[in-house]
Amino acid sequence: MNVECITLQAFQVNAYLLQDPASGVGVVVDTGFDDELAAILGAQQPRLDIQAILLTHAHFDHAGGLAALQQRFPQAVTYLPTLEKPLFDTLPWQGELVFGAPQFNRPCGRIDREVQDGAELEVGSGLRFRFLSTPGHTPGQGCYYTDTHIFVGDTLFAGSIGRTDFPMSDSQSMESSLRRLLQLPGHLIVCSGHGPETTLERELQTNPFLDYIRRERGIALNSRRPFGRQPRWN
């Protein structure tokens, strides 16, 4: 599977284009905020064969571009975590709800399939994903993973974690979600919703927000959470 990270201008969100080199079938993870990703992918020649759109969560910087992307690639099947549906339903007015900015409000687009913890997805014949539900940053955020990569949205970042001070966030759920996430194989390359890629192992060893997991597992504390430091990203 080829993995291309496309960092969009709006909110510096990372969207991902995944392609099966044998068949050319493509999958997009997250859509960005507006029609920027649709324009970038729509301009590629030869024309991309996007068969699925996987949403990690329904914050508008990640899902606000869904309608535009679906217009470009109407055959693509869109997946959303089941528990994220209530937040997705706020998408038309989320700009106002979360940031007090009504000009950010967007139409939703269409959800074709909902995914639940443990689900396995197959797109074309060469792209397979498992789904891990990791609520906390949002009510139903989740991670899609293969044998080599995991797409975590705003659950985990290189050296940070997703914020839990938004409406519908829950810091206790976030703690248990990170605990579950960090039980997956350490070699998995973490493709986050913002910032550079990392690996689960590297974050387990060094992420300053994961001291509690290291303590539980008896891993030597080799980082310290700086006093007053807060997660950085949306």
Report in angstroms how near the CB of residue 138 gets to Zn ion at its nearest: 6
* Measured CA distances, 77 to 58, 66, 68, 113, 126 (Å): 16, 11, 14, 7, 16
Report in angstroms how near the CB of residue 70 gets to Zn ion at its nearest: 20
* Residue closest to 69 by CA, chosen among 20, 134, 82, 79: 79
Nearer to Zn ion, 56 or 198 (CB): 56
Size of site (CB under 5 A) for Zn ion: 3
Residue 180 is which amino acid? R
Q: Does 31 bind Zn ion (CB under 5 A)?
A: no
Of the candidate spans 4-12, 41-49, 153-161, 221-229, the one that interacts with Zn ion by CB under 5 A turns out to be: 153-161
Q: Does 155 bind Zn ion (CB under 5 A)?
A: no
Q: Does 154 bind Zn ion (CB under 5 A)?
A: yes
Residue 25 is which amino acid? V
Subset of 205-234 contacting Zn ion (CB under 5 A) = 234
d(CA 64, CA 78) in angstroms, rounded, equals 13
Report in angstroms how near the CB of residue 44 gets to Zn ion at its nearest: 26
> Which residue's Cβ lies closest to Zn ion?
59
> Helix (H, G, I), strand (E, B), or coil: what is residue 129?
strand
Nearer to Zn ion, 59 or 214 (CB): 59
Nearer to Zn ion, 198 or 234 (CB): 234
**Contacts of range 124-130, beta carbons closer than 8 Å, 24 or more positions apart:** 124/20, 124/23, 124/25, 124/51, 125/20, 125/23, 125/25, 126/1, 126/20, 126/22, 126/23, 126/25, 127/1, 127/18, 127/20, 127/25, 127/27, 127/52, 129/54
Subset of 82-141 contacting Zn ion (CB under 5 A) = none
With residue 176 as reference, give the H or E element that holds it: helix 171-181
Subset of 35-64 contacting Zn ion (CB under 5 A) = 59
Q: Does 34 bind Zn ion (CB under 5 A)?
A: no
Report in angstroms how near the CB of residue 22 gets to Zn ion at its nearest: 33
Residues that bind Zn ion (CB under 5 A): 59, 154, 234
